[in-house]
Amino acid sequence: MPIATTGKVLVSGANGFLAVWVVRAFLENGYAVRGAVRSADKGVHLSKIFKEYGEKFEVVEVPDITKKGAFDEAVKGVDAIAHTASPYHFKADDPAELLEPAIKGTVGMLESARRCGTAVKRIVVTSSTAAVLHDEPTPQTFTEADWDDQAVETVQRDGRNASNVHKYRASKTLAERAAWDFTKTHGASLTWDLTVLNPPLILGPILHEVPSPSLLNTSALQIFVSGGGGCWVDVRDIALAHVLAVKKEAAGGERIVIGREAFWWQDWLDATPEAAKANLKYQKGKPGSQKDIIPPVSYDASKSVRILGMEYRDMEETARDVVSDYEERGW
């Protein structure tokens, strides 16, 4: 299919931690952007920080992404879509609190694009490695071929009693499967193709409106705590990946893990600038204590380099920029 190397991009959930950087990345690469937010007040900060782009940036309201036809008007006249809107938290009692907006929001966007997005050439859906990994007793390296059906089965069996982590992982798995099933069902009738990006924990400086650290989103908040391990990606890198996924013809129809190496949290403490460590609010832990311990989960992100040409920031750069950002805010 033809790709959208220029034109206008719809970004859903545009006021979110990742989405604001996605908006910025598209603007910096010459695209016009239509940012979808739930209410007008959610767009005020966006209009302010992207004022220099003038008419190339606009805000539209989509109050409830679970409603049928929610994105019908928003998709009109855009050449590509970056669907980032999906709940990310570990506070749900009823699994439906996560599953319904994740699944209905994703399928609803695709359905609106099918019926009303006559100019759309590519849709990029932000999934997660939560839809990729599954619990194993020994360290594992996962690829795009893996799916977290384990979390889905756990939530189906245990319902409200399932862990919040499994509820979230099930929501990402089911939403992504629904997206791929949609493209299979409608096949050749679609004027666009689909790319799915699967990032792990997203960290980095913030652009969205956050008056205090207590109101940070789930992933950004973790820079203030320590413990455990996982995998990560800089928010600016995954944002750029959305642009590349729209630009690169070979990305069409692909599921792509986006991310850096695995870590233990001590690695982040070690990467924190020395000047910041003198401030008691940043923990020091036991420097170097986890260097030789293999993290339980890692991902093969070589596909992102091969298809998108990704080049990733290292931990030291991200840690330095996060600390600098937070210090400037007086946090």
Whether 195 and 122 have beta carbons less than 8 Å apart is answered as yes
pTM of the model: 0.92
Beta bridge partners of 23: none
Whether 22 and 28 have beta carbons less than 8 Å apart is answered as no
Give the DSSP letter of residue 159. Answer: G
3-state secondary structure of 201: strand
DSSP-assigned states of every residue in 231-283: EEEEHHHHHHHHHHHHH-GGGTT-EEE----EEEHHHHHHHS-HHHHTSTTS-
Distance CA 132, CA 309 (A): 21
Where are the strands (E) in the chain, listed by range?
8-12, 32-37, 57-61, 80-83, 122-126, 140-142, 193-198, 201-203, 229-234, 255-257, 262-264, 297-299
Tokens for 193, please give them.
Answer: 């193709």
Length of the chain: 331
Return the percent helix, strand and coil in the chain, to nearest 5.
45, 15, 40
pLDDT, residue 221, reads 59
Q: Which residues contact 17 (CB under 8 A, 6 or more apart)?
A: 202, 206, 208, 216, 217, 219, 220, 235
Give the DSSP letter of residue 80. Answer: E
Q: How many alpha carbons lie under 13 Å from residue 328 in its C-beta half-sphere?
A: 9
Distance CA 167, CA 156 (A): 10
Angle at 26 between CA 25 and CA 27, to 5 degrees: 90
Whether 315 and 271 have beta carbons less than 8 Å apart is answered as yes
Tell me the pLDDT of the chain (331 aa) as tens digits.
Answer: 667 778 999 999 999 999 999 999 999 999 999 999 999 999 999 999 999 999 999 999 999 999 999 999 999 999 999 999 887 777 888 999 999 999 999 999 999 999 999 999 999 999 999 999 999 999 999 999 999 999 999 999 999 999 999 999 999 999 999 999 999 999 889 999 999 999 999 999 998 777 666 666 666 656 555 567 789 999 999 999 999 999 999 999 999 999 988 988 888 888 887 766 556 566 677 877 777 788 889 999 999 999 999 999 999 999 889 888 888 877 6
